[in-house]
Structure 1
Amino acid sequence: MTVNRRDTILMALASAGATLTAMTAAAQPAATPTRSRWGKTVEGQRRADLGNGTYLNPVLAGDRPDPNILKDGDDYYAAFSSFLYYPGVPIWHSRDLVNWTPLTAALKTPIGNVWALDIAKHDGRYFIYIPVLDDNDPGRALKTFVIHAPSMKGPWSEPIDMHLDGHIDPGHAFGEDGKRYLFFNGGSRVQLSDDGLSAVGKPDHVYGGWPIPQDWVIEGFALEGPKLTRRGEYFYMFSGQGGTAGPPTSHMVVVARSRSIHGPWENCPHNPIVRTVSRDEPWWSRGHATAIEGPDGQWWMVYHGYENGLRTLGRQMLLEPFEWTADGWPRASGGDLSRPLRKPGNAVGAHGQPLSGFGPDAIGKKLTFWAPRPGYLDRARIAGNALTLTGQGTGPADASPLLFVAGDRSYDIRVEVELQGAAQAGLLLFYNEKLFCGLGVGTEKLHAWRIGQEERWPAGAPIDTRRLFLRLVNDEEVVTFYHSRDGRTWTKERSVEVAGYNHNVADGFLSLRPGLYATEGGTAVFRNLTYRALEGVSDAVRP
Structure 2
Amino acid sequence: MKRNYEGWVFPKEWIVECFCLESPKFTYHNGYYYITAAEGGTAGPTTSHMVVSARSKTPFGPWENSPYNPIVRNTNRDNKWASIGHGTLIDSPDGKWWIVFHGFENANKTIGRQTMLLPIEWTKDGWCKVPDPADVAKPLKKPMGKAVIHGMKLSDNFEGNQLGSQWNVLKNANKDRFIVDNGTLTIKGLGKSISETQPLPIMPGNDSYQVTIALTAGTNTASGGIMLYYNQEYYAGLEFSDHHIYRINNRGQKSRESSEIKQDMVFLRLKNDHNDLLYYYSLDGKEWTRLELVNQMSGYETNTLGGWGYLKPALFSIGEGEVKFKTFKYEGLD
> Which letter does structure 2 place at the counterpart of 1:461?
S
Q: What is the CA–CA distance in structure 1 between the aligned matches of 2:109 and 2:184, rounded to whole Å? A: 32
Partner of 2:268: 470
Q: In 2, Cα distance between the equivalents of 1:266 and 1:505?
A: 37
**Alignment partner, residue 234 of structure 2:** 435
Pair 1:331 & 2:129 matched: yes
- Confirm or deny: 8 A CA contact 1:218 1:246 kept in the other structure: yes
The C-alpha deviation readout for 1:36-64, integer Å capped at 9, x for no partner, is xxxxxxxxxxxxxxxxxxxxxxxxxxxxx
Q: Deviations over 1:210-254 (max 9, x none)?
A: 102111110001111111010011000010100000111000000
For the residue of structure 2 that corresponds to 1:417, the secondary structure is: strand
Note the C-alpha offset of 1:463: 2.7
Between Structure 1 and Structure 2, how many residues are aligned? 329
Residue 230 of structure 2 aligns to a residue in which SS?
A: strand
Say whether 1:522 aligns with 2:313.
no
Match of 1:278 among 42, 55, 76: 76
Counterpart mapping for 1:364-443 below 5 A? 365-373=165-173, 376-421=174-219, 422-443=221-242
1:497-536 equivalences under 5 Å are 497-535=296-334
CA distance 1:359–1:231, change in 2 (3 Å): farther
Bigger mean CA deviation after superposition, 258-267 or 345-354:
345-354
Cα 1:289/1:381, change in 2 over 3 Å: same
Q: Give per-residue Cα distances to partners, 1:456-487, cap 9 Å, x unaligned.
A: 4xx33233233110001111111101000000
Which consecutive unaligned segments of at least 5 residues does structure 1 have?
1-202, 536-543
What amino acid does structure 2 have at the position aligned with 1:342?
K
Structure 1 residues 414 and 301 mapped into 2: Cα distance closer, same or farther (>3 Å)? same
Determine helix, strand or coil for the equivalent of 1:205.
Answer: coil
Letter in 2 for 1:242: G
Name the TM-score, length of structure 1 as normaliser.
0.59
Q: Deviations over 1:356-383 (max 9, x none)?
A: 113548647221233445xx01101101
Deviations 1:288-318 (A, max 9, x none): 0110001221100011011121100100010
1:336 & 1:451 partners in 2: Cα distance? 39
The one-letter code sitting in structure 2 at the alignment partner of 1:281 is N
- Where is the helix percentage greater, Structure 1 or Structure 2? 1
Match of 2:280 among 478, 482, 488: 482
The 5 Å alignment of 1:10-159 reads none
Residue type of the alignment partner of 1:451? N
SS in 2 for 1:524: strand
Paired residues of 1:437 and 1:452 also in contact (CA < 8 A): no
Does structure 1 residue 262 correspond to structure 2 residue 96?
no
Aligned mates of 2:191, 2:177 — CA distance in 1 = 13
Q: 1:509 to 1:361 in 2, by over 3 A?
A: farther
Provide structure 2 residue ranges, at least 5 long, that are not aligned to the other structure.
Answer: none
Match of 2:290 in 1: 492
Amino acid at match of 1:277: T
Q: Following superposition of structure 1 onto structure 2, how do residues 455-466 of structure 1 map, counting pairs within 5 Å?
A: 455-456=254-255, 459-464=256-261, 465-466=263-264
CA shift in 2, pair 1:345/1:369, >3 Å: closer
Task: Say whether the 8 Å CA contact 2:223–2:318 is kept in structure 1.
Answer: yes
Q: Structure 1 residue 244 and structure 2 residue 42: aligned?
A: yes
Deviations 1:484-542 (A, max 9, x none): 0000111012321100000001111111111100002110111011111112xxxxxxx
Taking the aligned partners of 1:274 and 1:359, their CA distance within structure 2 comes to: 44
Matched AA of 2:20: A
Give the alignment of 1:135-284 within 5 angstroms: 203-284=1-82
Cα separation, 1, equivalents of 2:69 and 2:308: 25
Give RMSD over aligned pairs.
1.6
Distance 2:26 2:163 in 1: 33
Instruction: Render the CA deviation track for 1:438-462: whole Å, top value 9, x for unaligned.
Output: 1010014222122343234xx3323
Q: Confirm or deny: 8 A CA contact 2:213 2:326 kept in the other structure.
A: yes
The one-letter amino acid paired with 1:462 is S
Q: Secondary structure in 2 aligned to 1:504? A: helix
Percent identity over paired residues: 37
| Structure 1 residue 398 displacement after superposition | 1.5
Opposite residue 170 of structure 2, the aligned amino acid is W
**Deviates most, 327-336 or 219-228:** 327-336
Write out per-residue CA displacement over residues 70-114 of structure 1, whole angstroms, 9 at most, x where no aligned residue: xxxxxxxxxxxxxxxxxxxxxxxxxxxxxxxxxxxxxxxxxxxxx
**CA distance in structure 2 between the aligned counterparts of 1:335 and 1:294, rounded to whole angstroms:** 18
Query: In structure 1, the residue corresponding to 2:88 is in which secondary structure?
Result: strand
Distance 1:315 1:524 in 2: 32
Distance 1:301 1:490, change over 3 A: same
1:372-398: per-residue Cα shift (whole Å, max 9, x none)?
Answer: 45xx01101101132100010112222
Match of 1:290 in 2: 88
For the structure 1 residues 219 and 364, does the alpha-carbon distance in structure 2 shift closer, same or farther, using more than 3 Å as the test?
farther
